[in-house]
Amino acid sequence: MIRQGIEHYLSVPFQLPRDPKAWEETKNLMLTILKKNTTECKRNWKREEIYE
């Protein structure tokens, strides 16, 4: 009986509830990041500083 319960549980695909507003906000954030100029995101450290 336990084995049947486990097999049934594993056979049903698990899906999280979808929140369209959250997906839209995430999409807008990704688009904003992609539109940024790479010079705006220039690092302010040197490789040698990492090893200090």
Say if residue 41's pLDDT is above 70: no
Number of domains comprising the chain? 1
Residue-range definition of the domain harbouring residue 26: 19-52
* Higher-scoring residue by pLDDT: 52, 30: 30
Nearest to 18 by CA among 26, 30, 10: 26
Establish if 2 belongs to a structural domain: no
Residue 25: the pLDDT is 95
Establish if 5 belongs to a structural domain: no
Answer whether 0.85 is exceeded by the pTM: no
Give the residue-averaged pLDDT of 2-21. 86
